[in-house]
Structure 1
């Protein structure tokens, strides 16, 4: 039963990553002309990456309750997508 639970939990995290309605942070990745904006969840990012935890906790929330738009130009969108999924 625990294997089934972990499988479902993993699927839920993938669904969160692909959800365009419920998110609390946007991250602009890459440089022109290869730029992509990711929508994500700060709690998950902070627990998965010490680098993102440092970067994100220094940002303040704006009036829409979405964190200020942050930019990570030194990483390609393709690489960041892999980081988010692993």
Structure 2
């Protein structure tokens, strides 16, 4: 599976079926080469305060399943929201 294929999938919360956003990036563990987290651009918050973009960092172990069209994740309390300067 490629990053482009992951980016096309909707990120869905398991607890309520809500669409969160789409994969924008991956975090890779440099020591073992494995994906440690996916970075998700939050839906409806493309440009936040002062042109910053909100993203959700979802640790790989919080992903329940990767389907053909969606990635199902656990509760957002288990993940981190970060802000990144507008691109």
- Give the TM-score of the pair, scaled to structure 1: 0.31
Q: Which of the pair is proportionally richer in strand?
A: 2
Larger Rg: 1
1 or 2 for the larger relative contact order (CA 8 Å, sep ≥6)?
1
- Give the TM-score of the pair, scaled to structure 2: 0.31
